[in-house]
Structure 1
Amino acid sequence: MAETSKEELFQLIKRLGAFITVKMSNLFSISFQNLDSRSIGAVAGLAVAIFFTWRLLRSPGGGSRGRQRKRQASTPSSSGTSAHSSASLIPSAASLSSENSRAQNVVDEFFQPVKPTLGQIVRQKLSEGRKVTCRLLEIVLEENSPEELQKQATVRSSVLEVLLEITKFCDLYLMDRVLDDESEKRVLVALEDAGVFASGGLVKDKVLFCSTENGRSSFVRQLEPDWHIDTNPEIISQLARFIKYQLHVSPIRTERTAANVFSAPSLEQFFGSV
């Protein structure tokens, strides 16, 4: 029975070692430079879990086995005492199983999957790109054409969180074609009312306007961003050989035109925030 208990403990330690190895691998798949307070908490939880698991496996089991060896050495060998010793080992095996379960529960509690933050997802998706250019119409604004901007400009509420995360670590430029100065003012007021400028990551000078689609393409070429985000497939195609990465936003699934061109129904869906 004692040999069986040792074997069970050995197998538990092997399983625990493999379990911790997998969790460690998953935890450190995010680079240290991207660790936030939640990730640091997970690392601290790892250390505490390992410590308590070691204590649970070391103290009670080790003491009971030592006492069992002393009891067996001091008791005369006979059939009666042998039966009594065997019986006394049964509660110890049950106790060991309980300790194994407790140890596993401790590890499970501390190794709950840590969901990455939106900021971490944005950085990963953008491959640490530091400059991003993005069209306004159909991506940031509800409106689909310059003609609609002559009447109103409305910021899409679902894109705000992603937009603000991008501005935290990227140099972001917003741009589009307008038909008059009033449309420009209307767009700037809508962005300001939505709080896009509140964080300081995006300023009004980085909202650019032009009178033609080619003008937007020219802006992108001059700025040389790491990423350009647009809805016009022709502009995406023209810029594919000049820009490192592009995101084609389209409600209709399109074939990938180049290795550096990605597609998604919306900016927020590309980052999985909806």
Structure 2
Amino acid sequence: MGNDSSKEELVQLLKRFGAYLTVKMSNLFSISFDNLNSRSLGALAGLAIAIVFTWRLFRTPPRHQRRQPKRLAPTPSTSGVNTHSDGAPVSPGICSSEDSRAQNVIDEFFQPVKPTLGQIVRQKLSEGRKVTCRLLGVILEESSPEELQKQATVRSSVLEVLLEITKFCDIYLMERILDDESGEKVLLALENAGVFTSGGLIKDKVLFCSTENGRSSFVRQLEPDWHIDTNPEIIFQLARFIKFQLHISPNRSECTASNVFCSPTLEQFFGFPDRN
């Protein structure tokens, strides 16, 4: 008897499971396919698995079904109150334990999947594979060539994002310096931060020049998919030559062209807060 009761309970649970799937399906497919993102596609995959799972279970009915007892007709005193299969009254609007369990199963299928940092980088960079980026004010704490004559410090909050970009993209770092010693300080700071250990960035891809126009010339020669800079004049000059640009500015200045994006920091562009 206990085994038959468990089977009947499973059948009831699956019926409620199917009802919830119908509601979820109607909500999901009400969204335009043009607006589907990775999270929606994950939900679709979960929905497909759930449908196949439910269908396979319903294909084979239980071998032994106990005879259903005759149900008593509801008395006038119970009008407006639903009764369970065992005759126990259930108030309208109150979910039974089976309803709650079915709801929990459905919710597990539709839990949002948090994208990885690598997925965020690829999505935000529109699958671009070559990136050029200036150092001052983006990768380094210092903001002028004069400061580099004293020291060079890699921003700790940008390091995780930078390392992920080096895994996915062919990236070149560049900066204007006043002397060779400044360049050596920059390379040492990058090395100590572990930027060269990932294998995606080598010292030969850290370029130095003596003028701002020299940095602009580097970018045009490399023809990247993305260029990242803090100088609005260089951003403006390169807008018609480079597919995408990211202007790093703490003042959140307005973007000068449709292919130019703006962000206070590089990490915030990828959804990471500035923890400095």
How would you bin the TM-score normalised by the shorter chain? 0.7 to 0.9
Separation of aligned partners in 1, 2:47 and 2:199: 35
Note if 1:258 corresponds to 2:257.
yes
* 1:44–1:109 distance in 2 versus 1, CA, 3 Å: closer
Q: Tell me the C-alpha RMSD between the 2 structures.
A: 3.7
Separation of aligned partners in 1, 2:246 and 2:101: 49
* 1:21–1:182 distance in 2 versus 1, CA, 3 Å: farther
2:10 matched to which residue of 1? none
Supply the AA of the counterpart residue of 2:270: F
Supply the AA of the counterpart residue of 2:256: T
1:224 matched to which residue of 2? 223
Supply the AA of the counterpart residue of 1:117: T
Task: Select which of 84, 94, 105 maps to 1:91.
Answer: 84
Separation of aligned partners in 2, 1:205 and 1:19: 53
Note if 1:29 corresponds to 2:28.
no
Note if 1:233 corresponds to 2:232.
yes
* 1:50–1:175 distance in 2 versus 1, CA, 3 Å: same
Task: Select which of 6, 18, 21 maps to 1:16.
Answer: 21
1:131 matched to which residue of 2? 130
* Partner-residue secondary structure (3-state), 1:133: strand
Contact residue 53 and residue 106 of structure 1 kept, 8 A = no
Higher mean C-alpha deviation, range 142-151 or range 90-99:
90-99
Q: TM-score, with normalisation over the residues of structure 1?
A: 0.76
* 1:21–1:132 distance in 2 versus 1, CA, 3 Å: farther
Where does the alignment leave 5 or more consecutive residues of structure 1 unmatched?
1-8, 73-80
Separation of aligned partners in 1, 2:56 and 2:83: 23
User: 1 or 2, which has the higher helix percentage?
Assistant: 1
Separation of aligned partners in 2, 1:171 and 1:180: 27
How many residue pairs get matched? 242
Report the Cα offset of residue 117 of structure 1. 1.2
Paired-residue identity, %: 65
Where does the alignment leave 5 or more consecutive residues of structure 2 unmatched?
1-13
Separation of aligned partners in 2, 1:241 and 1:153: 32
Separation of aligned partners in 2, 1:49 and 1:99: 19
Separation of aligned partners in 2, 1:16 and 1:59: 20
Supply the AA of the counterpart residue of 2:37: S
Q: TM-score, with normalisation over the residues of structure 2?
A: 0.75
* Partner-residue secondary structure (3-state), 1:67: coil
* Partner-residue secondary structure (3-state), 2:219: helix
Report the Cα offset of residue 227 of structure 1. 0.2
Separation of aligned partners in 2, 1:249 and 1:151: 23
Report the Cα offset of residue 13 of structure 1. 3.9
